[in-house]
C-alpha cells in the first residue's frame, strides 16, 4: 500500500506541474541541470514499479526475488542522490563557481554515493530470498536477513550528512556573497524551497534509519519509496520555481499567464504597452513599457537579476561571473 500511495502521489505531482515543466524546461537549451532534472523526474517511475512487483508476484524464484529487490533498493538511493546532485549544482552556482568548492562537492558527492551504494549493495549480497509459503493466497517475495539493519541505517545517515553539508554551504554562500541581493525573489525562492527540502530530507532520512534498525527485516524499507518521491517532488519544484521567478524578475512570463490574460479578456492600451511574442508556443514574451517610470522599474529589475545572474530564453540565471542558479 505504501508503494501504491507513493506512485499515486508521483503521478499526480507530474500532472500538476506538467504545464509549467513544458514551458520552462522542455523549451530550454540542454544543460547539466536539465539532464539531472529529467533523470530526477522520470527515474522514480522506473524504480518504484519493481517494489510493487516484489510484493505482488506469485511463486517467484529466489533469483528473481533478489534482482527485483536490488533494483528498488539501489534505485531509490540513486533517486535520492540525483535529487541532492541538483542541490550540489545550486551550491556551486552560489559560490561563484569557485574551483575549491567544485573539488569539495565532487569529492564529497562521490564519497557519499559510493558509501551509500556500497552499504546497500553489501546488504543485498548478504540476503537470501524465497517465494511465499502461502502462494498464491499471499503473494510476493520474502527475504531472509540477519541483523544487517545497521548497514541500511548508515546508508541513510550518509545521505542525511550530504544534505546537511549542502544546506550549510547554501546558507554560507547566500549570506556572505549574495547578501546585497537579499531582496531578490530568486534567492527568496531558493532559500524557501531549499530549507523546506532539507527539513523533509532530515525527517525522512532519520525515519528510514530508525525503521531499518528497529523494524523487522521485511519492513526496513517501508519509508524508502515515500522518501524517493518526496526528494524527486521537492527538487523538481525547486527548479521550476527558480526558473519561473527568474523569468518574472526579468519581465518574462509563461504561456499560462498569456492564456489567463486572454481568458479574462484583458485589454492592453497599445499606446502604453507593446507585447511581442517571439514564436508561436514559445514561453518567452517581452514586455516593453511606454512610460518612463515603468522603464525605470524594468531597469531596476534587470539590474537586480544581473546581480543574481538573470538571463532570458531558457529561464536560467547567470551573473557577470557566470553563475547559473537555475
pLDDT tens per residue across span 57-67:
877 888 888 88
Lowest mean pLDDT among 78-87, 194-203, 292-301: 292-301
Q: In 260-309, which ranges are E strands?
A: 273-277, 285-289
**CA dist 176 to 74, 96, 169, 173, Å?**
37, 12, 10, 5
Kindly report the average pLDDT of the chain as a whole number. 73
User: Is residue 304 pLDDT above 50, yes or no?
Assistant: no
Report d(CA 74, CA 43) in Å as an integer: 12
> Residue 15's pLDDT band (boundaries 50, 70, 90)?
very high
The CATH class, in words, for 2-248 is mainly alpha
User: Is residue 46 pLDDT above 90, yes or no?
Assistant: yes
- What are the sequence ranges of the domains in the chain? 2-248
Determine the 3-state secondary structure of 324 from DSSP: coil
Report d(CA 106, CA 120) in Å as an integer: 21
User: Is residue 314 pLDDT above 50, yes or no?
Assistant: no
pLDDT, mean of residues 87-97: 82
Q: Please check whether residue 29 is in contact with residue 318, taking contact to mean a CB–CB distance below 8 angstroms.
A: no
Report d(CA 104, CA 37) in Å as an integer: 22
Quick one: pLDDT at residue 16?
92
Q: In the chain, which ranges are E strands?
A: 128-131, 141-144, 273-277, 285-289
Greatest extent of the chain over all pairs of C-alpha atoms, in Å? 79
Q: Please check whether residue 94 is in contact with residue 325, taking contact to mean a CB–CB distance below 8 angstroms.
A: yes
Amino acid at each position: 500500500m505504501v508503494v501504491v500511495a507513493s506512485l499515486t502521489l508521483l503521478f499526480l505531482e507530474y500532472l500538476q506541474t506538467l504545464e509549467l515543466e513544458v514551458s520552462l524546461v522542455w523549451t530550454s537549451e540542454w544543460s547539466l541541470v536539465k539532464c539531472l532534472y529529467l533523470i530526477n523526474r522520470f527515474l522514480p517511475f522506473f524504480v518504484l514499479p519493481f517494489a510493487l512487483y516484489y510484493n505482488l508476484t506469485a511463486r517467484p524464484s529466489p533469483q528473481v526475488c533478489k534482482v527485483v529487490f536490488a533494483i528498488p533498493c539501489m534505485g531509490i538511493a540513486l533517486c535520492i542522490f540525483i535529487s541532492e546532485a541538483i542541490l550540489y549544482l545550486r551550491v556551486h552556482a552560489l559560490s561563484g563557481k569557485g574551483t575549491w568548492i567544485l573539488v569539495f562537492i565532487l569529492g564529497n558527492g562521490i564519497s557519499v554515493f559510493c558509501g551509500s551504494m556500497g552499504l546497500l549493495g553489501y546488504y543485498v549480497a548478504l540476503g537470501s530470498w524465497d517465494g511465499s509459503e502461502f502462494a498464491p493466497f499471499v503473494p510476493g517475495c520474502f527475504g531472509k536477513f540477519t541483523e544487517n539493519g545497521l548497514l541500511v541505517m548508515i546508508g541513510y545517515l550518509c545521505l542525511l550528512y550530504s544534505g546537511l553539508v549542502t544546506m550549510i554551504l547554501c546558507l554560507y554562500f547566500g549570506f556572505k556573497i549574495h547578501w546585497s541581493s537579499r531582496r531578490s525573489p530568486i534567492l527568496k525562492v531558493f532559500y524557501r524551497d531549499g530549507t523546506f527540502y532539507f527539513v523533509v530530507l532530515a525527517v525522512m532520512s532519520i525515519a528510514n534509519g530508525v525503521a531499518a534498525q528497529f523494524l523487522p527485516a521485511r519492513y526496513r524499507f517501508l519509508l524508502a519509496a515515500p522518501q524517493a518521491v518526496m526528494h524527486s517532488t521537492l527538487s523538481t519544484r525547486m527548479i521550476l520555481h527558480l526558473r519561473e521567478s527568474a523569468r518574472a524578475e526579468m519581465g518574462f512570463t509563461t504561456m499560462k499567464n498569456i492564456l489567463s490574460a486572454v481568458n479574462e479578456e484583458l485589454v492592453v492600451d497599445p499606446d502604453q504597452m507593446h507585447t511581442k511574442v517571439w514564436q508561436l508556443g514559445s514561453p518567452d514574451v517581452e514586455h516593453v513599457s511606454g512610460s518612463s517610470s515603468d522603464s525605470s522599474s524594468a531597469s531596476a529589475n534587470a539590474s537586480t537579476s544581473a546581480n543574481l545572474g538573470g538571463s532570458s530564453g531558457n529561464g536560467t540565471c547567470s551573473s557577470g561571473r557566470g553563475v547559473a542558479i537555475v
